[in-house]
Structure formats: C-alpha cells, structure tokens
Amino acid sequence: MIVRAYAKLNLTLEVLDKREDGYRNIVSVFQSISLCDELTLAPSETLMLQGDLSGTTAEENLVMRAARLLQERMGEKRGAMMKLRKRIPVAAGMGGGSSDAAAALTGLCKLWGHQPSGEDLRHIAGTLGADVPFFLYGGTVLAEGRGDELTPLPPLRETWLVVATPPISIERKTATLYGALNPSHQSFGQRTQLLVHAIRGSHTLEAGLLYNTFEQVADEVFPGFAAFRRRMLDAGAATAHLSGSGPALFTLVDDEAAGARLQRQLGAAGIESQLVKTTAKTYNQL
C-alpha cells in the first residue's frame, strides 16, 4: 500500500492574543497542495521505518510515533514495514512531518483493518501535533485556536502556484519567530475573514488577500531571507508569500504554463522551485 501525504500552504496566518496555556491563538486558512511525500506500508510482525528520515532516528520520526500511538490506542499487536519517501522540503512551513504522521494513521488503520470514529482519530492526531488533524482531511480549511479548531471551506477552483524554499535553517525556528513579534504585530483575524468571505463567494484565490504575520519579522530572523525573496521577485515572481513559519515562499501563477515559465526563470537565477496546484484531497491509497 502506498499512501500519499500532501503538503499544505498557509494562505493566511494571523497571530492573535495569548492563551491561558501559554500558546498564542492563531487564525489561518490551510490549503493542501499537490506536492506530497509517499509512505509505503506492508504487513510485518514488528514496526519498522526506513527511507528519508530527515536526520531523525526511526523512533524519533513522527511516522513511527504515530504508528506506536495507534498501536497503543487500538490494542494492536501486529506491526508494519514502513518506508518514507520525502518530496516536501523539511522544516519549511509546509507541514511535511505532520502530513506524514497523518498518512501513517490513516494507512495503518486500513492495513490493520481498524475503523476508529472520526473523533477518535482526530484525538490521536491532535496528540501528535496541533496541525496533524488537518492532514486527515485536507482541502481548504479555516483553522483557529492553536490551529486545531477546523472549519471546512468550499474547495478552491484549481489554482497553480510556484513554491521555493531558501536554504536557511535555524534552531527553534517557530519559537524564535514568535519571540520576535511585539504587540504591534498582533491582529484580530480580519484579513483571514476577508479571504474566507472571498472563498465562500467565488471559490477563487486573490493574491491581494494572502497574508502572514511572520512576514513582518522573517527578514530579521532568517539570515539571507530578504535577499532570497528579492532574487525570486527579480526573476519574475509577482509576489512571494511566506507559508506557516517558513522559510518556504510561494507565488500564484495564472496557469500551469505560466508556472512552468516562472520555474525556468527561477532556475536561471539559481533558485530551485516546485510547480504545484491546490487540491481537495489529502490521501490516496494506490
């Protein structure tokens, strides 16, 4: 069995007030895209994970953590041979690890013949990370709270985008970004509500409605980020928007052909990129 684990983009991301548990409330529109990892599953007496583990041990990887948690909750004694093939850039703000975890949960339920309720599966997913429940379903979703309060939105009309990830890595990325924010960066969700209204009305995406609070501090947090974004714009990208906690940047294009042209222009400028489209699907069993 092969299960596809699709990436996401944050079409908006606004940081709101602080919660009693110490986290910050957010409001965001999550959108799944066609870029995906692949998780291969086969019966086995024990749990094993191989493949592209992105610098983690098998036991540390979210796929293995998801598998062991599901085993525990379902009282399952059987194992599985799991092999992960990565295509989603690691730690780029596109949810690759969380999507892999959700793929493990849904795939192993099928492999082992379990049919937990949607509520039970969401609870298991939420234990692994605030955004893991989104990847059980995907599509276009309004996320609130810690990102785990989800409201499905009408699916977007097919929209093409080009995504580029700067070769930038910092420790404690998300915590550092939050730490760089000050009260002037806080909003009340109004930008996201504008986008939600547009999606519900026309099912289309307008570049002028994209927004991410972290864009206001990304230049100071990510070394070389401003220069990379400028190169992307100079190469022909109309805009360059941060996804999640970054550093991945994405831009809308008119269609697939326009995206391919932009890819060539970015390549000539020394920037690797990926042409993707929005999707209403998250997991496909092959």
Q: What is the DSSP letter of 158?
A: P
Are 193 and 214 found together in one domain? yes
Q: From the CB of residue 172, how many other CB atoms can be counted at a distance below 10 Å? A: 9
Please tell me the distance from the alpha carbon of residue 30 to that of residue 7, in angstroms, as a whole number.
Answer: 10
- Total number of domains in the chain: 2
3-state secondary structure of 50: strand
pLDDT at 285 over 60: no
Tokens of 9: 């983009």
Question: For the residues 70-87, what does the mean pLDDT come to?
Answer: 97
How does pLDDT run across 27-65, given as a tens digit for each residue?
999 999 999 999 999 999 999 999 999 888 999 999 999
pLDDT value, residue 281: 63
pLDDT at 268 over 60: yes
pLDDT value, residue 282: 59
pLDDT value, residue 160: 98
Question: For the residues 128-151, what does the mean pLDDT come to?
Answer: 94
Q: Contact at 8 Å (CB) between 69 and 43? A: no
Are 177 and 258 found together in one domain? yes
Looking up residue 11, the CATH number of its domain turns out to be 3.30.230.10
Q: Contact at 8 Å (CB) between 144 and 128? A: no
Are 216 and 131 found together in one domain? no
Q: Which residue has the tokens 């948690």?
A: 69
Are 214 and 168 found together in one domain? yes
- Among residues 152, 170, 194, which one ends one of the domains? 152
Are 9 and 143 found together in one domain? yes
Are 110 and 195 found together in one domain? no
Are 144 and 166 found together in one domain? no
Q: Contact at 8 Å (CB) between 192 and 28? A: yes
Please tell me the distance from the alpha carbon of residue 210 to that of residue 13, in angstroms, as a whole number.
Answer: 9
pLDDT at 283 over 80: no
Give, to the nearest 10 degrees, the angle between helix 118-128 and helix 62-74. Answer: 140
Residue range of the domain that includes 204: 160-277
pLDDT at 120 over 90: yes
Tokens of 93: 């703000």
Are 37 and 114 found together in one domain? yes
3-state secondary structure of 10: strand
pLDDT value, residue 19: 79
**Residues carrying an active site annotation:** 8, 131
Are 90 and 165 found together in one domain? no
- Of the pLDDT bands very low, low, confident and very high (cuts 50, 70, 90), residue 115 is very high
Looking up residue 212, the CATH number of its domain turns out to be 3.30.70.890
Q: Which residue has the tokens 């060539």?
A: 264
Specify the pTM: 0.94
Question: Residue 45: inside a domain, yes or no?
Answer: yes
- Among residues 132, 152, 172, which one ends one of the domains? 152
How does pLDDT run across 235-258, given as a tens digit for each residue?
999 999 999 999 999 999 999 999
CA dist list (Å): 187 to 115, 124, 244, 249, 274? 40, 31, 16, 22, 31
Largest CA distance in the chain: 56
Are 148 and 254 found together in one domain? no
Question: Residue 286: inside a domain, yes or no?
Answer: no
Write down the mean pLDDT value for the chain. Answer: 94
Question: Residue 21: inside a domain, yes or no?
Answer: yes
- Among residues 122, 152, 182, which one ends one of the domains? 152
